[in-house]
Amino acid sequence: MRLFRRPAAVRPGWDVDLLVWAGGNPEAVGEALAGTLERLRAELPEACVTFLVDGREWERWLRPWRRQFPSRREIVLPEPTDLPQILYARGLASSPHPWAAFLWPGCGVNGEGLRRLRAAAAGDLVYGDLLAPPEGLFHPVQHGWLQMADLIPMHNCLLAREAGTRWDPSPLLQRGFWWDLTLRLSRRGRLIHVPAAPAPAAWDWRTFPFRSETGDPDLAARRVAREGAGTAEDFQRDLQGLRITLLSGLHDAHQNQIFFYNFFQRSIGSGALTWKTLLYERCGPGDLAGCDLAVFSRPRFPEVSGLLDTCRERGIPARVMIDDNWIAAGQEFPRFERLFTPGKPSFEVFLDSLRRADAVLVFNPVLEAEVRPWARRVVRLPPNVELSFFAAPEAPREPGFVVGFAGSPRFEASGFRGLARFLDRHLDARLLVMAHEVPEELRGINPERLAFVPWRHDYAAYAQDLAARRPDVLIAPLDASRFSASKIPIKYLESAAVGAAGIYSRVPPYTDLVVDGETGLLVENREEDWEAALERLYADPELRRRIAERALAQVRERFATERVMPAFLAMLREVAK
């Protein structure tokens, strides 16, 4: 590698390094790179530019352009690699500027958009508008969504030099290196969206005309899914096992983690399996080629039937996973009538998938009985919880009594009314809410006593947030419908995992698991009963401690991911046969 620098002469305040990769086949993309450089000069005359030169041939090609960019830097590789990530990594690491933007042959340049990104730049990655975003996406892009799709356009963002994210140089990721980087960055970094339209690009990395192919899209997606875990040898070993393709909706990221990734991630290096995840709307027949098992998670989308056809034609076993009782949902709740009643497309797709799947996976006996008449085969596994996600930080927690609720919206409000009454009487108690919004019954609480943590489509991050707050008590109100009785007791598992004493509605699934007064408190859905249970735990720290310890012991013994994993892997192998 040769690094060539000239002193920069730029306008004050412009501290973005434009990293321009010159690579690929010069005959195929040389004219496109010339267009990119022309647009760069016109749109951003103040730009600090670094040429990333993939081989001597490109060095010669760029000679006429050096006069046009007198303040440029150059990083030159003597031999072509066709691996853009190698030069982008070196360019970013050696940059004198705190932010970098990325270009390659055929990229348009939106100067005003990049200036807008820089004006708002903060965190680790600031990005503009997406190209064809999935329906239902909001900003910032969530980690759980990047597990399913490569979403952030590389030429419409700024990456902080100090973000500290490693660029994977593997030839396998020739076309997937940016997806890999943004996925890993989204787990621990801060992503910020700024409205800025992306400039047109002749090619993204999926279609760019490299000199030679070094990767395979299917293998690359399976490598990306591991998020940097394991070694190259582990990956090769795991490729000898099952090749699983998980199909998902955008907003099912939590379910993917709980019911699949918990196990998949623990299996790395064991030789059991590899996996990749695709959005239903972005999966084509070719994406299923070579897989040993297709898993349809919560299928209710119009693409499901066609993908099941592909599985049948190619002899790919299909497994459906369902954790909500959609058969009961439309019968019991008006809000679900438009989705889950006979004749509605989502409901008919769901029923069709039950009939056609080789097996249906559930985690609750009520739901098992509900779907059995529709399915050829039903397999029920116990729920699981990855306790390592809930490890509490070592820093001491702020003193005082903390009571909270964490989860999706509930149809039963008596618990929230009882909690509001309790908080009105105990001004020293603080409230934690981790949800889409603060329940209406709790909105009168003084904001100084309320910690509201918005919902995240990243279950591991949600678990870490909950553990960091270390609540003394968590409540889990639930109505007495069949729909709710079909759920997994996830709030019991999570309360135990964070060391909180739990209070639960005296309804299934909690009555099947919680021993009243031993591993939690069971209450009728009356606000005075919720209030009394809160008073009891508030007044008795020793009872809180005993309940929390016993619940954790039970969860660790019966529901820890490593306990359930043998049954999960056996189920996969059996269905894949």
The closest of 507, 568, 493, 554 to 366, measured between CA atoms, is 507
Q: Does domain 2-193 have CATH number 3.90.550.10?
A: yes
pLDDT at 9: 41
**CA–CA separation, 292 vs 315, rounded Å?**
9
Residues listed for the chain: 577
The closest of 140, 214, 209 to 177, measured between CA atoms, is 214
**Segments of the chain assigned to CATH 3.40.50.2000:** 387-559
Decide: helix, strand or coil at residue 347: helix
Tell me how far the alpha carbon of residue 289 is from its chain's centroid.
24
What are the DSSP E strand ranges found in 144-281? 157-160, 191-193, 242-248, 273-279
Query: What is the domain class of 387-559 according to CATH?
Result: alpha beta
What are the DSSP E strand ranges found in 161-280? 191-193, 242-248, 273-279
**CA–CA separation, 135 vs 404, rounded Å?**
32
Instruction: Give the C-alpha distances (Å, rounded to integers) separating 394 from 158, 377, 468.
Output: 34, 46, 9
Cβ–Cβ under 8 Å, residues 348 and 355: no
Place of tokens 């409000």: 413
The number of beta carbons lying within 10 Å of the beta carbon of residue 367 is 27
CATH of 229-383+565-576 given 1.10.8, 2.60.40, 1.10.30, 3.40.50: 3.40.50
| Strand pairing category for 73-77 and 2-5 | antiparallel
pLDDT at 6: 44
**Segments of the chain assigned to CATH 3.90.550.10:** 2-193
The number of beta carbons lying within 10 Å of the beta carbon of residue 197 is 13
Please give the structure tokens belonging to residue 411. Answer: 């149809």
pLDDT at 13: 56
The closest of 554, 546, 390, 530 to 470, measured between CA atoms, is 390
Backbone angles phi, psi at 244, to 5 degrees: -105, 135
| Averages of pLDDT over each 10 residues, the chain, 577 residues | 46 82 96 98 94 97 94 96 98 97 98 96 96 94 97 98 95 98 93 96 97 95 98 98 98 98 99 99 96 98 98 98 98 96 98 98 99 98 98 86 92 96 98 96 96 93 96 98 98 98 98 98 99 99 99 99 98 90
**CA–CA separation, 328 vs 5, rounded Å?**
68
Decide: helix, strand or coil at residue 60: helix
Please give the structure tokens belonging to residue 513. Answer: 């698991």
Backbone angles phi, psi at 317, to 5 degrees: -60, 140
Please give the structure tokens belonging to residue 25. Answer: 């086949």
Instruction: Give the C-alpha distances (Å, rounded to integers) separating 282 from 198, 253, 407.
Output: 21, 16, 28
pLDDT at 8: 41
**CA–CA separation, 75 vs 10, rounded Å?**
20
Q: Is the overall model pTM greater than 0.85, yes or no? A: yes
Please give the structure tokens belonging to residue 490. Answer: 């996830």
Please give the structure tokens belonging to residue 457. Answer: 């489509």
The conformation of residue 526, written as its DSSP 8-state character, comes to -
The closest of 194, 181, 189 to 126, measured between CA atoms, is 194
